[in-house]
Amino acid sequence: MAVDMTRLFAPRSLALVGASNSFMKWGFIVLANILSGGYKGKIYPVNPRGGKILGLDVYKDLRSIPDEIDVVVVTTPAAGVPGAARQCAAKKVPFMITITAGFSESGDEGKRLEREVAEIVRGSGVRMVGPNTMGIVGTGARLCALMPPVKPQPGAISFVAQSGNIGSQLLGLGQVMGVGFHNFVASGNEGDLRVEDYIEFFGEDEKTRVIMAYIEGVDDGRRFLDVVRRITPRKPVIVFKAGQTRSGARAAVSHTGALAGSRDIYDAAFRQAGVIKVSATDEMLDLARAFAYLPLPKGNRVGIVTWGGGWGVVTADACEDAGLNVVPLPTDVIAKIDSVLPPYWSRGNPVDLVGTLNREAHRVALELIVGCPSIDGIIALGIFGAATFFSELVANASNLSENVPPELVQTYMKEIRREDEKFESTVVTLMDRYNKPIVGATVIRNPQAERDVPRQVLVFSTPEKAARALWRLYEYQRYRESVHRET
Amino acid sequence: MAVDMTRLFAPRSLALVGASNSFMKWGFIVLANILSGGYKGKIYPVNPRGGKILGLDVYKDLRSIPDEIDVVVVTTPAAGVPGAARQCAAKKVPFMITITAGFSESGDEGKRLEREVAEIVRGSGVRMVGPNTMGIVGTGARLCALMPPVKPQPGAISFVAQSGNIGSQLLGLGQVMGVGFHNFVASGNEGDLRVEDYIEFFGEDEKTRVIMAYIEGVDDGRRFLDVVRRITPRKPVIVFKAGQTRSGARAAVSHTGALAGSRDIYDAAFRQAGVIKVSATDEMLDLARAFAYLPLPKGNRVGIVTWGGGWGVVTADACEDAGLNVVPLPTDVIAKIDSVLPPYWSRGNPVDLVGTLNREAHRVALELIVGCPSIDGIIALGIFGAATFFSELVANASNLSENVPPELVQTYMKEIRREDEKFESTVVTLMDRYNKPIVGATVIRNPQAERDVPRQVLVFSTPEKAARALWRLYEYQRYRESVHRET
């Protein structure tokens, strides 16, 4: 049975042991991050000195808080952590998040202290995140109990990282890219809860549609694979495994003490367990949002629709290199596209829209390709986010010309944006109707605001990324089919 | 001899034949882009109707302009282009940029028209860019004679693209990433000037330190390779060759009529000619700026300095996968680092700074690694752009706390920024002193403002990209050594 972590990621009440008024202490910074993140529950700062911190009443110890506490965050010096753990046990707090460092990562005395804390916690009913964790995020409760000032937007991805640094930086990159998260945890030294415990909970958590993990090493490989194997037929599990080369493995031993197996052994085990393995940090986010918001393609046959010919060539290369099949178009589809495009369009796949500004022609061509029974997935280039391009153009021109009445510019810009939104909602409708993924690729585009909806238009920053994402969706679809055939 | 294109990219005077007051015509948009780009020379709009456009006096034809003209930009309908070419010849205009489409890309009549224009131009002393070009950029004269509203910042890279769309979008991505350009040209249908002519000029152009090309096909492969081979021993030439798979080659034929050779043949020819071949669109920019601003490493031995352990593991993997050697540190270097870091630092390569906030320790550790004779290049993680992180932290805290006086925050933020600048200038000094590349990698960082200086700190968005860039610098260094050994 998975540990039920609902209250860890969405606590009704939270205490911060080690809260501080001192500007450069983690007991101040973490509290400031929780407050500025807009946490919905009650917050109780704890410090033996009492007083007020950031406008909140400070309690001298956990016991004196007149309320049940779902989560205790600890930022005291390491020597104070065993005491804090005992207080948590006495108050029957279900979860303790030990941000404090100076445990097994820092030498023999730290190892001893970590064992001591683990023993207090074990059997007391308290479950611990960390020690030496950068913290957790639960966007359902708007909880950002983190050391760095990152505020992820809500989404369908839950993420566990064996490096808080990598985890929080990917959350930050997600903010820039418009990738939202449901839960995040930096597992720290894993004195109690381990990476596979979090994954197991995410597997059962309804709001999590995609699981993402950064891993350096697992203590119990068999349990890890058992947990993952039970989840992957229902939910994608995306794993970045660090420490796979000789140099990387040496660095991992020094960082988390992780003993790395060889890359071949991991690859084979992951493949068997249906893990979606990624090999670059930024690929994790690209794939996670593809799995969160796109239907899985039934085959590897791809249709390319492009505003300009050059990107069509690059994308065709990228598709073939990724394993996708850029299939010929049926003659009836070519004939139908003939009626909306200039006679010198490519008359094949990629469909080169030869730069036409006619949005209706874009829509018709796209719909014909999506509806084509011999095509499983679509990459569309240059036809999403056209508003950015045109509004810059219009702004430019209107700033310079005395001949352009401002009202006209306003009307025109509004129309461009409306057209863009209409176009995107058409695409979502098409994805739903035909149950096929349609992905965009546009080199320059403002970050997307990810919305909390099951289907949306995703625009990748390069066609290479779009092609690789489609291929991974297809691979996972094949895995799922093979599992279901067996059972 | 290369065609001297100095006046093409930095014209003293420019005429726009087909200039228009009509908001949605290219004759208006291109003129608006030239004006808003801040072009330094004189501009003469030409339209038989006369009047004024964007505040400028309009001339009825080229002949009536009382000035010498270095460049004529043409946006008339295709049928008007032969006439414009004859006017250019009569006025002894050295360069004509034909933006107008409807030539060989649009069918047989277009092919005939393109031949007609080429014949008029040939022998008349006029050299033509295009037809069907998206235009050119010359940041020396602040000239943005382009269809899309892109305004690149100045830099050391010159770029020719056989797709205007890909070219201009990479310029736009450069704006976001902080990559500057010296010259850019979309070669269009290459009715007269061809991709190798531009490369040949860039090879002789003093302000160009790196040449970048997007290529679908070359008409005269032998000449292309001859041109490139003469440049690469002095100046890096980075090429993205599209149309390398079966699907891509098919798409290229339909786009530019390019006949693609097999990937193996291109790879062999490029290798022989010392071309730096890239296989992803975004890699072009990453490599171009690496070559523009970093010294070449003498070997493949790399030192990694990281603020946090996780990124060290990922980077060690990325280095080994890229072909770099993460070498052990000499014991005397370890001993010296011992004196500035906590006792539980990694005591090896990667140098894990275990999160210390002490900037002086960062500097000392970095300098020891750079000075190490057994290390040829350095990747530094998390220690550049620390200001972004800290200023968010401080802003957060100060917004929330009544205990933080605003003056203190101001002072603190200023100090953080000054420290960052000081740190970056130290790194530039180290690069110069030891003549070794030092590259940063930070997942989240505001775009860099590229400065027009020969050495600067480059920060890549992932450690994988930093490692690959270092490897490509080393490969090129080896190529140069082998050429110089032969001669």
Residue A435 CA to residue A247 CA, distance in Å, equals 44
Task: Give the model's pLDDT for residue A319.
Answer: 98
Where do we find the tokens 């002393």?
B125
Q: B148-180 burial, b if ≥16 CB within 10 A, otherwise e? A: bbbbbbebbbbbbbbbbbbbbbbbbbbbebbbb
Let me know: does A365 contact A340? Beta carbons within 8 Å.
Answer: yes
**Amino acid residing at A148:** P
pTM of the entire predicted model: 0.92
Task: Please count the helices (runs of H) and the strands (runs of E) in chain B.
Answer: 16, 20
Distance from CA of A212 to the nearest CA of B (A): 16
Q: Do A255 and B312 touch (CB under 8 A)?
A: yes
Q: Which 3 state secondary structure label does DSSP give A381?
A: strand
Q: Is A190 on the interface with B (CB under 8 A)?
A: no
User: Chain A, 355-384: which have a CB under 8 Å from a chain B CB?
Assistant: 355, 382
The per-residue pLDDT for range B337-387, each reduced to its tens digit, is: 999 998 889 899 999 988 777 888 999 999 999 999 999 999 999 777 666
User: Considering CB atoms only, which of B309, B320, B344 is closest to A247?
Assistant: B320
Which two structure tokens, joined as six digits, stand for B168? 């201009």
Task: Give the model's pLDDT for residue B263.
Answer: 82
Write the DSSP string, A124-183. TT-EEE-SS--EEEEGGGTEEEESS---PPEEEEEEEES-HHHHHHHHHHHHHHT--EEE
In sign, the C-alpha dihedral spanning B478, B480, B483, B485 is negative
**What are φ and ψ of residue B241, in 5° steps?**
-105, 115
Let me know: does A146 contact A172? Beta carbons within 8 Å.
Answer: no
Q: Do B317 and A464 touch (CB under 8 A)?
A: no
From first to last of its 487 residues, chain B has per-residue pLDDT tens of 899 999 999 999 999 999 998 877 899 989 999 999 999 999 999 999 999 998 899 999 999 999 999 999 999 999 999 999 999 999 999 999 999 999 998 889 999 999 999 999 988 999 999 999 999 999 999 999 999 888 999 999 999 999 998 999 899 888 877 889 999 999 999 999 999 999 999 999 999 999 999 999 888 889 999 999 999 999 999 999 999 899 998 888 878 777 666 788 888 999 999 999 998 888 999 999 999 999 999 999 999 999 888 999 999 999 999 999 999 999 999 999 999 998 889 899 999 988 777 888 999 999 999 999 999 999 999 777 666 666 676 776 667 766 667 777 778 778 877 888 888 889 999 999 999 999 998 766 554 555 556 678 888 888 999 999 999 999 999 999 999 888 7
The angle that helices A281-293 and A463-486 make with each other, rounded to 10 degrees, is: 60
Q: Do B396 and A105 touch (CB under 8 A)?
A: no
Residue A35 CA to residue A30 CA, distance in Å, equals 9
Q: Is B187 on the interface with A (CB under 8 A)?
A: no
User: Considering CB atoms only, which of B149, B308, B352 is closest to A396?
Assistant: B149
Where do we find the tokens 């750079």?
B370
DSSP label at A59?
B
Task: Give the model's pLDDT for residue B448.
Answer: 52
Task: Give the model's pLDDT for residue B451.
Answer: 57
User: Which residue of chain B has the CA closest to A401?
Assistant: B54
Task: Give the model's pLDDT for residue B385.
Answer: 64
Q: Is A411 on the interface with B (CB under 8 A)?
A: no
User: Which residue of chain B has the CA closest to A164?
Assistant: B310
DSSP label at B277?
E
Most distant CA pair in chain B, distance: 80
Let me know: does A378 contact A303? Beta carbons within 8 Å.
Answer: yes
Task: Give the model's pLDDT for residue B445.
Answer: 54
Distance from CA of B174 to the nearest CA of A (A): 9
Distance from CA of B434 to the nearest CA of A (A): 25
User: Chain A, 48-87: which have a CB under 8 Å from a chain B CB?
Assistant: 54-55
Chain B residues touching A468 at Cβ < 8 A: none
Q: Which 3 state secondary structure label does DSSP give B291?
A: helix
Residue B106 CA to residue A341 CA, distance in Å, equals 12
Q: A150: Cβ–Cβ under 8 A, 6 or more apart, which residues?
A: A137, A144, A168, A171, A172, A175
From first to last of its 487 residues, chain A has per-residue pLDDT tens of 899 999 999 999 999 999 998 877 899 989 999 999 999 999 999 999 999 998 899 999 999 999 999 999 999 999 999 999 999 999 999 999 999 999 998 889 999 999 999 999 988 999 999 999 999 999 999 999 999 888 999 999 999 999 998 999 899 888 877 889 999 999 999 999 999 999 999 999 999 999 999 999 888 889 999 999 999 999 999 999 999 899 998 888 878 777 666 788 888 999 999 999 998 888 999 999 999 999 999 999 999 999 888 999 999 999 999 999 999 999 999 999 999 998 889 899 999 988 777 888 999 999 999 999 999 999 999 877 666 666 676 776 677 766 667 777 778 778 877 888 888 889 999 999 999 999 998 766 554 555 556 678 888 888 999 999 999 999 999 999 999 888 7
Cα B120 to chain centroid distance, Å, stands at 34
